[in-house]
Amino acid sequence: MRVLFLIPGSSASQLQAFPAVAAVADQLQAQVQVVCPTASAAIWALLPQVTRVLAFGADGDGSFGSGNGPGAGNSLADWSNLLGSVRDPDFQACINLATGRQVNLMLSMTHIPTRIAQDGFGLTERVSPQEGWPNQAMESYLRPLGVSLDAETFRLSLPRPALEQAVAALPPGDGPALLLAPAGGAGDWPEANWRLLPEQVRLQVPGLRVLHTLSDDSPVDRAAQLAAADVVLGSDPTSIELALLSGTPLVALGRRSDTLPARQGVQGIGSSAGLDDLGVAEVLQALGLG
């Protein structure tokens, strides 16, 4: 069986679909292909169940194009090439997370008998969106295929050499390793707070080791670094998702608790609208040091 996923959005959005894609591949013994924005394609190297990744478009907003608004930069030739790529294999099902006239027109021109989506004239099976943790909310898309989903049990399977390298790169010492993963840019937690927090933690945990997310690293190396840490404090969406998929304890800045798994060691704090008002004392408390 062959199944196609169409997943718009950033690398963080792609990671949220990992448990669902793996469940389809494993439970249906399916060959799975994924269509995603070019900028997000590299992240799928972390999921061996995916047999092929089709990178599509270069729109900065991570969409596949809809109407005349943002993300509508893909040309007719782009859509024709994508149609050829998805018509060539004999797909039995498609799970489509994208919206818009172009993607629905393309899907309606394929021979895929089961096309699952929330809306659009290209679907054959309509699903209702679920609330809560996005990873588990994907289950509604899997039910028409008879696939169940327990996103909480999914963990990334990383190469041993990458994990060993990440452990070897930890700061020396035997204290807990705190990884800081700021998003940077407007709306992030102030830089002064990122600098002050480790000093405050060391007052209670003298042996604390602090590290920062790698820059210009491969998805495998970045995931291994997050998996090697003892706890992650992050506002960067991709780092947050990688920590969740690795099972690393996490304090996620700018995330509501209802968008995270109900797991011991995972906590959301602050507002996605901006973190300027979030104090160091509140973060220390979320880390269990308040």
CA distance 16 to 4: 16
Residue range 160-286, CATH number: 3.40.50.2000
Between residues 137 and 81, which one has the greater pLDDT? 137
Return the CATH number of 2-153, one of 1.50.10.20, 3.40.50.2000, 3.30.710.10, 3.40.50.720. 3.40.50.2000
Residue of higher predicted confidence among 81 and 224: 224
Do the beta carbons of residue 219 and residue 42 sit within 8 Å?
Answer: yes
Mean pLDDT, residues 222-242 taken together: 97
Q: Answer yes or no: same fold for 2-153 and 160-286.
A: yes
The domains of the chain are located at 2-153, 160-286
pLDDT in tens, 99-114: 989 899 999 999 899 9
> pLDDT band at 1, cuts 50/70/90?
very high
Single out the residue of 260, 263, 261, 254 nearest to residue 283, CA to CA.
254
Confidence of residue 168 (pLDDT cuts 50, 70, 90): very high
- As a whole number, mean pLDDT of residues 54-72 equals 60
Nearest-angstrom CA–CA distance, 114 and 6: 13
Q: What percent of the chain clears pLDDT 90, i.e. is strictly above it?
A: 80
